[in-house]
A and B are shown apart, each in its own frame.
Chain A
């Protein structure tokens, strides 16, 4: 479980948010809301440990994430604005490397199965360069299927996705929550997961 207490974050001299308190535990879904520039991405990057908070604590299972460091990273996955995939490589190579860095040894069959589930049948071996924006996003999202961790932190996961892919995302999040996972995400599009109450955190 992830507990945030008294969190404050600066961007330059500008205070983005302060006195933020919330927690999320197994099977819960948290949506971070706020206008453009309200600090949603900064909050998510702070939760990942990429940004050192100006004040406050972030605790994972009772321990500070900066002390846990690699142990925390082994239990979370972050999907940022950029897809973190290489144009020169094909989808399978990209996923093999990201899964390898996360410590998962996968064979190509599992990767191809994940890509097919993401609706990329027939695109597995094409260089990512020739895929569309939405297809690239699907390749990036396939990581969620391959890397088995409990905390998902998703920054605008629905960008560039079509209606069917949004439906698929809702399904994936639903499955993950049913498996005692946790999801923190931001989005400007409606994303409802059947049978789960979404907690909302509004940044002003």
Chain B
């Protein structure tokens, strides 16, 4: 009997495994594109000579008459839109006015373009500048089809191109023998919301692509370590000092690869609800002391995403550690691969490597799977990802110590986001094309930080678990899709069972800022006309706190008042006016009052005016003034060496 039971169980488990295996072969995404690319890398000229066969299946439901393509590497030329913007407003790795250096020249040169079955159409390529009309920008070209592509039909483009990599800039390029090849191949735009979406490359923008499959075969110097999106499917020593390695990736919308003869490969794995995921890290030899930090952060992050948001569906994640001087390649996400960043001297108390690993892995969800349009809605990937970054870093490294954890001081992730938002809180709404922000400070402060603070503050309104549940539901609905902002807010509203449009309108579409403060607080005798002496427990006081709203952001307010008999009162104001008077007539006097006593409203720009204490405490001001005096003394002495 027992034996029979075991057999039945074994058969059932076998059947389940078979179903599971079959399910794994089912595409996770609408595979619109299939790229097959073969190229040879010349390490001396930093060029890749390649052919690309792109099969595009028209799943738009309408006929297509033209196709736009990105040529991102053409951004690294003096007259391009990217370079012009970088020079005028700065970019992530260089301040404005950094000037042009020839080593940063990059290009994507299309040698020939053929539509399979229709012949060579190279001469019909036309560069367009849909965003700014810059005739010198060659980051987007368009091709008109000889005949329309009907819905449901496929078309194949065969492109011979040469990619010339710059010395590393904006996440792509070489540094000595290291190469990070991102945005390196002619990439078709996305037909989205009824039209082609193919923006020029801007200094502040990232990317947008259709899901599909990538089969990439690269020939490069033998013994170089190679990593790429997807998994390695083959490697061959060509016997002439070169090797050819092949990779396959599916249900991804971009493909990046890296090569470096110096890196050390570290392999590990992590067990998640979706199965075992292989971790492959390409480390710089001088950075091996950061391996355990990377791994701890990565595994912790993967577990938290698995628990809170959803399963990681790919079999592998590749982590690239850029070399010294190659920091511009660091901190960047690609499907199933990301670049981190550390140094040989990285102090343990400074959690930047951990934050980078967390953030870039988080993009596997917010960009990788929920593939929002980074050109137009950067807050949807960077901002939501910054929110999960705060949550996960808090969970892994402590709420107050998740960015800096030293004896001298601490800095939390949420503190970091508040600082960044506070620097430029009202110049741009989150819902703005990434290249149209006034400057990098506003772009970072709003796109990343304001969105993170928006989600964190939402926790104080509807609860932490509800927000995470909403995000999980949003992920499940829009993974392997391209949701727009309205789809995010609608999904969240539905998941949390509330209409939060009043909130989204202010935080996403608006530039309203918030600074609630205690304007006055007092305790006066109710019988102010009486000449009898005050008597504790007998005299009745009129206690009053006036809360004033300095900004124009409407949000409910909770006030906590404490009295001298130890009693505590919490009251709520709907926040629909410029100010509100809280008043209590009781036999106790007010000793303190605090707006947002749970410290959940992180959009409030100034936490120092949120509270009032009847008794002054000079501890903090004395401490800081003491240090200020000391710094002045030391500066005096430094200058005194001239005497």
- Asked if A and B bind, the verdict is no
